[in-house]
Amino acid sequence: AQRVTQVQPTGSSQWGEEVTLDCSYETSEYFYRIFWYRQLFSGEMVFLIYQPSFDTQNQRSGRYSVVFQKSFKSISLVISASQPEDSGTYFCALSELNTGYQNFYFGKGTSLTVIP
Amino acid sequence: DTTVKQNPRYKLARVGKPVNLICSQTMNHDTMYWYQKKPNQAPKLLLFYYDKILNREADTFEKFQSSRPNNSFCSLYIGSAGLEYSAMYLCASSSRRGGNTLYFGEGSRLIVV
């Protein structure tokens, strides 16, 4: 069964706009983390940001932030002032303490195109 | 510096032939992973080494082998490639001390013909 769901297979935005990418997940654990990665066209997956389950504050890192809705088991990645270089496929991933945070369950990704 | 290197970047293999993919990391991470990524699918965990302990997923147990002769190096071995093995293979590493964030290499694209 799919543990992480990204319902938007594709998305687009205009240069400078704010972009929101959605992710939902399934877990019965109290301690877990949600990660966001971007896959470059070369294939490399680049770490962007992560949200620990016990932290009620939405995490921020540069132009990336998340909107964490723990009770709904959903999390959105927000990219401010999007740029063409932000184009790529964005993956959400769940990692749980009961596996030592070593098992990552990935979603299928959202392919984002930022139009110049 | 977060550096994970993979070789080869591209591999063309014949059906039935072996394939060996190599990964190295310079961050002294305790855990190294191999994921398989196919178009429009989520990355799929194949196996990972925590130190010298190998953990393999049940559904890929017999299809992939791996070795980790030292902390920096990890290989993925396919004994007899089938068409279904065509995919991008992503190596990653992480450290429990560092919160277990995965750091990926650029991937090895395998095409089996």
**Per-residue model confidence as pLDDT tens digits over B51-108:** 999 998 888 878 999 999 999 999 999 999 999 999 999 999 998 877 788 999 999 9
Residue A112, pLDDT score: 96
Q: Which pair of structure tokens corresponds to residue B100? A: 């277990």
CATH architecture of A4-115: Sandwich (2.60)
pLDDT bucket at A103, cuts 50 / 70 / 90 = confident
Residue A42, pLDDT score: 83
Nearest CA in chain A to B46: A103
Exposed, middle or buried by CB within 10 Å (0-12, 13-18, 19+), for A57?
exposed
Which residues, in sequence order, are CB contacts of A42 under 8 Å at separation 6+? B106, B107
pLDDT bucket at B2, cuts 50 / 70 / 90 = low
Residue B73, pLDDT score: 97
Torsion of CA A42, A61, B99, B49, to 10 degrees: -10
Exposed, middle or buried by CB within 10 Å (0-12, 13-18, 19+), for A63?
middle
Q: Which residues of A touch B99 (CB under 8 A)?
A: 101
Whether A104 sits inside 8 A of B106 (CB atoms) is: no
Give me the phi and psi of A15, to 5 degrees please. -50, 130
Tell me how many domains chain B contains: 1
**Per-residue model confidence as pLDDT tens digits over A28-43:** 999 999 999 999 888 8
Q: Which residues of A touch B107 (CB under 8 A)?
A: 42-44
- Strand, coil or helix: B78: strand
Distance CA(B3)–CA(B27), nearest Å, equals 7
Domain boundaries, position B78: 4-112
Count of CB contacts below 8 A, A vs B? Answer: 59
Give the least confident one: A15-24, A40-49, B70-79: A40-49
Domain containing residue B87: CATH number: 2.60.40.10
Domain ranges of chain A: 4-115
Residue A1, pLDDT score: 66
* Residues in chain A whose Cβ is within 8 Å of chain B: 2, 4, 9, 35, 37, 42-47, 50, 91, 93, 95, 100-109
**Per-residue model confidence as pLDDT tens digits over B24-58:** 999 999 999 999 999 989 999 999 999 999 998 88
A109: left (phi over 0), alpha (psi -120 to 50) or beta: left
Whether A100 sits inside 8 A of B50 (CB atoms) is: yes
Exposed, middle or buried by CB within 10 Å (0-12, 13-18, 19+), for B59?
exposed
Q: Which residues of B touch A99 (CB under 8 A)?
A: none
